Structure 1
Amino acid sequence: MNNNRVIVLDSRPEGTPTNANFKFENQAQPEPKEGEVLLKAKYVSVDPYLRGRMTTAKSYIPPFEVGQPLASGIIAEVVASHNDKFPVGQYVNGMLQWAEYQVSDGKGLTKVDATIASPSAYLGVLGLTGLTAHLGLMEIGKPKAGETVVVSGAAGAVGSIVGQVAKIIGCRVVGIAGSDEKVQYLKEKLGFDEVLNYNSTSDITEAIGKACPDGVDVYFDNVGGSISDAVYAHINRLARIVLCGSISVYNETSVPMGPRVETNLIKRSALMQGFILSDFAEKFPSSVQQIAQWLQEGKIKQTETIKEGFENIPQAFIDLFSGGNKGKMVVKVD
């Protein structure tokens, strides 16, 4: 019997997840039946939104079940096939279990073209991350050349792409990140006009005002909390606030209270809108095509942090909540 390691949710986290919430199980390697393929995991995506699936709170996606495998976006290789659509050696992308090996009937799998970019890019800039950044910014933020776009979590998977897209459009881009290293990276490598380190800034509200002398036209929010409160103080008339994530409160055990935003939004006739990626499903093909073109033209850089080893998947996920990544966090299984 060939061994197959699988990661299951052992308990629901209270506060920040720990390795104790995860359990490794040794199972028999599955055998593909007619119409199925055997997949070997190559790259595993870890994402902040998975934290929400570890609770029983009602959401747009069902929660993980205790004692059952976790799942996320995974690049896998077909190592045995009884399905003509997916030959042995083909790399595929899909929402798959955290397992070294698993079988699939092919539904939900898409082929990966490694001639365009590295396979891991299909979990980041050419995957759901890139789509989230591009479509959230364009469909809700609607940036125009010359406007000021502020991005929180700017060195993260989505934020780093949002800033680059906004620069392509001709916007002034101000990022907010958590270390001097990230500040330097965003300015020197990704072309952000200004980046603030919220950990070393004594008055973030004042700092945002100085970095945005003409106010804020678009705010792409990946963080929430006190950082967003500070940005709201500087929004312009008809500003657009894109609510993509709220990682600052994902691990809170009680509901935090912040400034009431309604008056600010009313006075400035501003829009605040949340979204989930499936809201724009019909635009996926054109969005991927545009991002791929920018990537090939060198207008967008692929930014990722790669950890190695199947056994390090839980820790890589946990590291997201302490800022342990620049760009997309991916685990290389081999």
Structure 2
Amino acid sequence: MSKLVYIFARIGIWLLAIMPFWLLYKISDLLYLLVYKVVGYRKRVVRMNMRNSFPEMDNKELKAIERKFYHYICDYMLESLKMILMSKEELFRRMKFTNTELYLEMLEKHGGIIVMMPHYANFEWAVGIGSFMKEGDIPMQVYKPIQNKYIDELFKHNRSRFGGYNVPKHDAIREVIKARRAGKKLVLGLVADQSPNVHSLNYWTTFLNQDTSFMDGGERIARMMDFPVFYCELKKEKRGYCEAIFELMVESPKETATGEITEMFARKVEQTIIREPGYWFWSHKRWKHKRQNNQ
């Protein structure tokens, strides 16, 4: 049954992927009415997250962010599906990559770099980073496998179309070491702002006015390999157009204190969200874990 659903889903995705962007956004506007006005997808979670993050805002301000978020999430879903047939030229026309010179310089100098980014704007389009790297260098993307194997294969295909190499999160360190032993240069990309699992609540900080745990895997790998760490600042310029700016946070991670890189990342993400809050994944249950007294 799941295979049959997958086949029909692939047909539907293909039909959406061949549509021009202007038509796709008309569909997105209708989807917004369904998801926000009719279904109310995770509306309670979204409202609680926003209210706790911006206690200084009144209901009118929060409502404006809420509407922008639901418009964004509908665009994001369809823009991500569009990637299945998007050409490299079209991707680079819509996703501008900035400060790539320093990115490539650090990669050449150190043999590897870490790129950390949030669930913000169209982060899926950032998979294009492999398109401007040297042939033979490896753009690795850490991901959490999806339970449905057919949907999982679809996402992995989408994320590897422009040279990306998908690495399950539990295999990341092993794959990094393996590549370096083979003499390969690599970029390890992590979308690292989601809530850690209950066994990985290693680093806590105040984030958006709340006690928050952050994943520290990116920092641990950076310190182990002494790879420079970049923050990928994502800016949504207008509908269907985004910019990814590579900001060097740390060149020599081994010289930093434990938790320093993760804290820097948390502050960068917070600044990104505050600048334009409507383009972050507010529907995530980001604050589902609470700090224990011994942490």
TM-score (norm 1): 0.35
Between the two structures, name the one with larger relative contact order (CA 8 Å, sep ≥ 6): 2
Instruction: Provide TM-score, normalisation by structure 2.
Output: 0.38
Question: Which protein has the bigger helix share?
Answer: 2
Report which of the two structures shows the higher radius of gyration computed on alpha carbons: 1
